[in-house]
Amino acid sequence: MSQNFVLKKGLDIPLAGEAALRVSKTIAPGIVAVQPTDFKGFLPRLLVKEGDPVLCGSPVMADKKNADILLTSPVSGTVKEIVRGDKRKLLAVLVETDVRQQHVDFGVRDAATLDAGQVRQALLQSGLWPWIIQRPYGIIADPDVRPRDIFISTFSTAPLAPDSQFCFGSELQAAQAGICALSKLTDGKVHVSLDGKRRTSPFSGLRGCELHTFQGKHPAGNVGVQISHIAPIRKEDIVWTVSPATLVAIGKLFTTGRYDVRRKVAVTGPMAIEPGYVETVPGMPVKEIAPFLGNTPAESLRIISGDVLSGKTVGMDGYLGAFDNQITLLHEGTEQELLGWIRPFRFNQFSADRSYFSWLLPNKKYAMDTNLHGGARAFLMNDGYYARVLPMDIYPVYLAKACLAGEIEKMERFGIYEVLPEDLATCEFVDPSKNNIQAMIEQGIDLMLKEMA
């Protein structure tokens, strides 16, 4: 049964630099990185060596814990370099792309006629399985488990998030095939959440799933927030989540027989020159978006793969993350401000607490930078301070402190099973103590994975 949820809590951050609804450039990168670090819980075992040819869809890594789980190349070409970090940790496989792209043919099949085993095998062989995320903990889904439900959020409310209508408006056929495939993998329902602020959605015509609408400020578009309102996760529950880009890629696997993870990526932020979209593949070198940077020196830029709240700083030498469909460009704030927070008039500064006059200008967009405007201090505020920007029935302050202290019983009591770090990003933004709340939640999740293994 479809439901409409109106969330009262949350915070929309009025950041300047929204992408115009146009594809400014189609990027066929010369180098593409396959990064196992993008997939939590994946322990990589190399299947290729430098100089090996690969096709689009060829496996390049397998999971040491489950050899059936593969990461495959998003392009065809030649393995140029194996990148390792400290203690020889595998960071990336760099593939030099061919001019003419060739694909592994996985065969065109009607997902509606397949059983669960055939769908599972197709996703594993193609390398799309690692893109399915399991909650609790946000790890790669276990192929041997049937989840209680599968959840898909078709929109994002993060600052400067890409427009889902623009990105996926022509992908309804692939999305429907993806729903048919995913419905075979669960005994429960496939829940699809739509943006209640939009009159139309490319996903509103989907069949074989439960449609819901959500209205509200960020993080209303986070799938974790939506799960907490539709069917909260309890201690023994396992659910899976799928992004709209992954849903479309799964559908294309069955409708075209190809591993196709191309996507529209929004280049956004106050430092972007004429913000817009590029069409590319995950693993694209960030330096490919140089036209959006103008003459801005690299040292004065912070380049983020993802949104400003939960994305990853990658720099000019980094690569687009596997799950990211947005790049954000900010000024690397190193300047000191005269008088600081006691300055009487600060019309160009946004405040979630009405400390400045920004609340008198509700439609103003701000060219925010990376300045913290203060340093770390005592972690003393009450739970209500975070709760007003977090539309979930948990105790965010107590949960963060329990994660920091490593108290497993308290972490369970205060909601660790329901959240991922991104769900508390707004709490981190408004925190006057400048705590890295997302890192605390990540620390708690890592401890749970270690202790519960």
Q: Is residue 315 a part of any domain in this protein?
A: no
**Do both 121 and 66 map to the same domain?**
no
What pLDDT is recorded for position 360?
75
**Do both 151 and 173 map to the same domain?**
yes
180 and 119 in contact (C-beta within 8 Å)? Answer: no
Domain count, the chain: 3
Write down which residue in 256, 291, 326 finishes a domain.
256
**Do both 91 and 113 map to the same domain?**
no
Q: Is the peptide bond before 136 cis (omega within 30 degrees of 0)?
A: yes
Write down which residue in 256, 275, 301 finishes a domain.
256
**Do both 63 and 173 map to the same domain?**
no
423 and 392 in contact (C-beta within 8 Å)? Answer: yes
* Residue length of the chain: 453
CB atoms within 10 A of CB 63: 20
**Do both 38 and 159 map to the same domain?**
no
Edge-to-edge strand order for the sheet containing 239-241? 3-6, 210-215, 190-195, 150-153, 239-241, 133-135, 139-140
Q: Is residue 301 a part of any domain in this protein?
A: no
Write down which residue in 256, 276, 310 finishes a domain.
256
Cα distance between residue 427 and residue 241, in whole Å: 23
**Do both 87 and 148 map to the same domain?**
no
Q: Is residue 394 a part of any domain in this protein?
A: yes
141 and 240 in contact (C-beta within 8 Å)? Answer: yes
List phi, psi (to 5°) of 248. Answer: -65, -40
**Do both 90 and 154 map to the same domain?**
no
Strands (E), 351-413: none
Q: Is residue 144 a part of any domain in this protein?
A: yes
**Do both 115 and 154 map to the same domain?**
yes
SS3 195: strand
Provide the Cα torsion 314, 317, 322, 324; round to 10°: 50
**Do both 125 and 144 map to the same domain?**
yes
**Do both 122 and 57 map to the same domain?**
no
97 and 75 in contact (C-beta within 8 Å)? Answer: yes
- Helical H segments across 284-395, by residue range: 383-387
What pLDDT is recorded for position 202?
81
- Domain hosting 239: range is 107-256
Rg (CA), the chain: 22
**Do both 172 and 227 map to the same domain?**
yes
148 and 188 in contact (C-beta within 8 Å)? Answer: yes
What pLDDT is recorded for position 347?
73
What CATH code is carried by the domain that includes residue 116? Answer: 3.40.50
SS3 139: strand
User: pLDDT tens track of the chain, all 453 residues?
Assistant: 578 999 999 999 999 999 999 999 999 999 999 999 999 999 999 999 999 999 999 999 999 999 999 999 999 999 999 999 999 999 999 999 999 999 999 999 999 999 999 999 999 999 999 999 999 999 999 999 999 999 999 999 999 999 999 999 899 999 999 999 999 999 999 999 999 988 778 898 999 999 999 999 999 999 999 999 999 999 899 999 999 999 999 999 999 999 999 999 999 999 999 999 999 999 999 999 999 988 888 788 999 999 999 999 999 999 999 999 999 999 987 777 666 666 656 777 888 887 777 777 788 899 988 887 777 777 766 777 888 999 999 999 999 999 999 999 999 999 999 999 999 999 999 988 888 999 999 999 999 999 876
**Do both 71 and 126 map to the same domain?**
no
What pLDDT is recorded for position 453?
66
